Amino acid sequence: MRRCGAPDRADENKGPVTIVRDPLWNNIPLDADAMRLVDTAVFQRLRYVRQLGLAFLVYPGATHSRFEHALGTYHLAGRTLALLRERGELAQLPADECAVVCAAALLHDVGHYPFSHALEEIGALHHEAVARTLITGGEIAAVLASTIGANAAMRAHAIITGESASPLQGLISGSLDLDKIEYLKRDALMCGVPYGEIDVERLLHSLTIVEDPKSGAPAIGLVEKGLAALLFAKYQMYRNVYWHHAVRSATAMYKRLVDDAMRSGAIEERELAGFTDEGLLHALEERSPSALLDSLRNRRLHKRAFELSAAELPTGRGDWIAGDRTRVIETEDALARELGVEPGAVLLDYPEKPRMLGLDLPVRMRGGEVRRLGASGWPAAINLPLLSQELYESTRVMRVFATEGTRVPRELVEELLAT
């Protein structure tokens, strides 16, 4: 990773460079150190884990994987570090800091479960926690120790989880990080939609190192002119792609399948992070076959039987659907009995990501003052914190999905939400 971020001329001839052709960023150069990480079994698994989970059932082009997204995030890290270096903002950092950041960019998704984030919604360990043993032990740790230094693996993982004291932390784990910039652009391209279109050049040039007014420590911040660009792209992508009703139906079916398999002992949680997408589906077919699995395989998705946006619900009403998996299963089964259908024929869904549109970072104002944009923000022409909450509430929808022909009375849903 010596070339990540345009390194010193003394490093220019150290090892071959592999050029990866990418539909989004065109050419992504990987030096010999980066290729050693890419060639590990842990990283290669990402070729077979779709970036957008089950969204390909709605957007057929959305079959891209975590593998190319990771390469793209690494590419953006190199470009951003080069810009910061040209402005002299990296002069006070340790000589190997950029290499650690690039490693973190490349490895940030190695702990992901099959079909993206869905299994975290049923209580499985967060993918960043899963990544700890994958990064700090085995092949990856050995590569990082030999190419960067003995403590490089721990430092890279700390950056991924947001627990690092590095001034560059916000490039990899923050409310305006390179991961988000990359996936919004790539997801929009592969889905064939315009919603995630953002001015990447403007955003990258707007990133800077400032003194955080909250902590007093140097940190990644943003110049004011780049402030609103990402917010609206995230809103549009969540509304039209990530939380599209048919995507959420497929996700609810998948969650119930895996949940049932885990509760019966057919699948163990510790196995999940080792599966690829198809590997897990094959395991479910062998160990826990069901009509629900057959329906998902053949895209016979549950239909919307009821829906209400968060803006229409009293504050906190129904939040247990996102957080209390045991109660969700019990309620789904009770509804199924009430309606005379099989367990799994009625599913509840109320996705939760409170910081989905959050912006919490230091901003350099036009006059040079650095202020922190957080939950309270500051009065401005556009009150972004308030706007982000309003957009989130309009995007988040509580739904009841059911097999085709199953009618779910409104009063029954209102009764379960009132309890």
Q: Over 90: is that where the pLDDT of 196 sits? A: no
Tens of pLDDT along 347-381?
999 998 877 777 778 888 888 888 887 655 554 44
DSSP tag of 50: B
Around Cβ 27, how many Cβ atoms within 10 Å?
A: 9
Tens of pLDDT along 201-231?
989 999 999 998 888 899 999 887 766 667 7
Q: What average pLDDT score do residues 277-305 get?
A: 97
Q: Is 76 within the bounds of a domain?
A: yes
Q: Is 42 within the bounds of a domain?
A: yes
Amino acid at 310: A
Q: What is the pLDDT of residue 315?
A: 86
Amino acid at 208: T
Exposed, middle or buried: residue 116 (CB in 10 Å: 0-12, 13-18, 19+)? buried
Q: Is 250 within the bounds of a domain?
A: no
Mean pLDDT of the chain: 90
Q: CA-to-CA distance for 62 and 411, rounded, in angstroms?
A: 37
pLDDT interval class at 391 (50, 70, 90): confident
pLDDT interval class at 10 (50, 70, 90): very low
Q: Is 19 within the bounds of a domain?
A: yes
Q: What average pLDDT score do residues 104-115 get?
A: 96
Q: Over 60: is that where the pLDDT of 7 sits? A: no
Which range (9-13, 63-67, 107-111, 302-306) has the least confidence?
9-13
Q: Is 363 within the bounds of a domain?
A: no
Q: Is 350 within the bounds of a domain?
A: no
Q: What average pLDDT score do residues 286-307 get?
A: 96
DSSP tag of 39: T
**Count of structural domains, the chain:** 1
Q: What is the pLDDT of residue 46?
A: 97
Q: Are 114 and 276 in contact (CB under 8 A)?
A: yes
For the chain, what percent of residues have pLDDT higher than 70? 92
Q: What is the pLDDT of residue 381?
A: 42
Q: Over 70: is that where the pLDDT of 96 sits? A: yes
Q: Where are the alpha helices (DSSP H) in 15-123?
A: 32-38, 41-44, 66-86, 97-107
Q: What is the pLDDT of residue 362?
A: 86
Which range (12-26, 238-252, 264-278) has the least confidence?
12-26
pLDDT interval class at 139 (50, 70, 90): very high
pLDDT interval class at 31 (50, 70, 90): very high
Q: Show the domain range for 152.
A: 9-223
Tens of pLDDT along 321-331?
998 999 999 99
The DSSP element (H or E) to which 418 belongs, if any, is helix 410-418
Tens of pLDDT along 338-347?
999 999 999 9
Q: What is the pLDDT of residue 393?
A: 86
Q: Please state whether 26 falls in left (phi above 0), alpha (psi between -120 and 50) or beta.
A: left
For the chain, what percent of residues have pLDDT higher than 90? 72
Give the highest mean pLDDT range of 1-10, 87-96, 121-130, 211-220: 87-96
Q: What is the pLDDT of residue 214?
A: 84
Decide which of 353 and 51 is more confident: 51
* DSSP, residue by residue, 250-313: HHHHHHHHHHHHHHHTSS-HHHHTT--HHHHHHHHHHHS--HHHHHHHTT-PPEEEEEEEGGGS
pLDDT interval class at 174 (50, 70, 90): confident
Decide which of 224 and 34 is more confident: 34
Q: Over 50: is that where the pLDDT of 8 sits? A: no
pLDDT interval class at 9 (50, 70, 90): very low
HSE of 392, CA atoms in CB hemisphere, 13 A? 17
Beta strands at 207-211 and 346-349: parallel, antiparallel or unpaired: unpaired
Q: What average pLDDT score do residues 19-30 get?
A: 97
Q: Is 404 within the bounds of a domain?
A: no
Q: Is 58 within the bounds of a domain?
A: yes
Residue 95 sits in a domain whose CATH number is: 1.10.3210.10
